[in-house]
Structure 1
């Protein structure tokens, strides 16, 4: 880890607009310019300390040193995470809410999601065979919206699918863009929360029955530390947070399809899946491709680290994208090499696409297990159960855009199911993938 003393400062009075304009480039570029993995800047009118790398992630996810309250920008709470969500809690309140989420992700329920998602993918492929072309990222959003709602116990009428898919997509698309994208995300979240709040109220009044192991039931009946249930709006927010991260996997799945196309040797390896290659491939997609640029926290109490004094309530930003490609931990970090994850025994702080540290007590996303399992199953389906053609198109993605995806959306044509697709589907359904 490179640390200059004294800690350097980035140029500019306030770099908020530079962060938005430069996207994923902003933090790595400043680190390189300043020659330090820790530097100071100003964001949203406040002093901020930016950090990158395994050591930085380990201290960032130390709950004794950092807190989340007041760190998430208000616009992101209003459009993406929801006000008062688990992401902004600390201490026992966070642990209690986190236990609620973990109770949803038992091995059996994770397998249920895998089965449900594959079912919806298979149904869609039946439709794709009749189309001239398919834009993969749009289809992945719809498939995962259908699957996420079914898994969570959220009834989704056929006539609602387009609207609800668009809402979640706009919420996810709001976190790093223009004012218009944020406004669309905020409007979508308002509608999304109102819809889910109505479901929570019906469950509580006994007007809607959902299985006791579903997210909808668990959230509706969850008790806070004071013994009271979440108010209906807060419950709606957390119900959304139970399946929204899965829908965001649409970006990873689309970029993974790009990886298969640009590295055709991976397709045969995925077919054979020797040594759990599908797991290695999925992890490398999550490491290599950009999704979350950074996370924010505030200093809980004064402490000194690398001879730098972190003062209470200072905003600290961890470079997620840069940490996943940090040269201290990743050889040939800017190359796509799935085999790097063979027998990988790395630190939970050097690979942090969905947060770092421990799932149970820290701020690492509990839905990460669902993400990895669904990615593995979908990639295996792509190579074993269907064939398709990738026409000439613009597959470039911009590191200035957050979140990013191929400019074409990844177009495929001539989709056909494999002759033995049904048999392979049955095999996948009855031989669930185990997530490491």
Structure 2
């Protein structure tokens, strides 16, 4: 369709419906994973380890997910991932022993990696370049809304069915996500097994791109993409890793500091929820700023704001101070909604997009694991205040890296969506 006529409404249900439901599925079980592990005989330390298995499952599946997405296409990768997630949820609900429950949690992480890669790759192909950041910011925002709503949806069922009810809510939501994903239009033909060639175009999204569908062009591999785009991964990829590290640490520092200053669980939950609400309210304006002014206008302020909030947190001594700082953190995280996906989409080549985005997600997931690990290590060696301060330093380093390596200016208009180039200065964009 012409760029000027594009509207998110045209792809809202197939693009964002599965994401909302998938977010609800994962949000429903997050508060009860540790409780279920404890019920199955895990110690407190082992229960905490089980929680990390979702992240581990995602981390180790990022690169293999590229094979699945390339082989079957984005649509069927979404369906397969959602069905795998529903299976994992049902397994967790019925697991009679700890090891089987832990395997189910790991499977949820695996499914999340495939689902996340496929939905990002799909929107990158389907949305014009001038609208890309708004689409991906909305994708991130819709996922956060689902995760936020998940615990509330599960709470009612848990009241009648016990803790297992949370997993049945997750299974039902994931199954609905798979059904809605069947409405996702095909953007390209899947790669036939054993051909070793790039897939041909099935729709206008890839038609006319050099290399796509050319039988003389060998299909990209993770190794070849890593070689041709190594500089991007070594530079801007470092900024992405730092964004993920600060974001993951932010989720831990609010409850930890609340406990440190003597707040009860109800007050802590309220403060955490209000921070999340601010986070969810501003994803679309953030995407519009990225599209109209450039990615740097959001990437750098996001990290600076979160660094400021983290630096101020050890100075708070009561619930009012912590609430204000938590709102700063929520605002900083909210304005960065979609920034990791948008920058990955900007630099991803076509053909070769799934492979590039798989490596990109691997960097982000590495940061997600490393951030809380640094917080834990510094806290154990020095103090919680020092651990939070170290996380603030990561935010400043991330801001510096993003300032240096995120291209200046707005995305170039008239460029085919998905070209392997970052945002560049160019002609004026059409009215948004």
Scaled by the length of structure 1, the TM-score of the pair is 0.31
Structure with greater helix percent: 2
